[in-house]
Amino acid sequence: MSHELFVEGVGILGAALLLIAYFMATTKRWQTHSLKYQLSNLAAAVLLVSYNVTKLAYVNIAINCVWAGVALVGIVYIGEHARRQKKLK
């Protein structure tokens, strides 16, 4: 597999994962505060940053870094919430 084809595949996978997560949240199949939604967003952002680095698309790199940061905040929030719930039991 050529390097260019691999890079395009990474970009397509990232975009698909982002759209799938958005679709699942919009159709209420996933909650936006669920771990699977946040992990999907994080993985999509990482894949898209990787793709955009090869294309030198700086604006997209910045946007996807922020997107990944938001997902990380969500993941931390979910973990903290789960810990608090466990302490209450």
User: Do 65 and 49 form a contact (C-beta atoms < 8 A)?
Assistant: yes
Phi-psi region of 55 (alpha: psi -120 to 50; beta: other; left: phi over 0): alpha
Instruction: Name the pLDDT band for 6 (thresholds 50, 70, 90).
Output: very high
The number of residues in the chain equals 89
Q: Please give the pLDDT value at position 88.
A: 81
- Percentage of the chain beyond pLDDT 90 is 90
Distance CA 38, CA 28 (A): 14
Whole-number CA gyration radius for the chain: 15
Question: pLDDT, tens digit, for every residue of 44-82?
Answer: 999 999 999 999 999 999 999 999 999 999 999 999 998
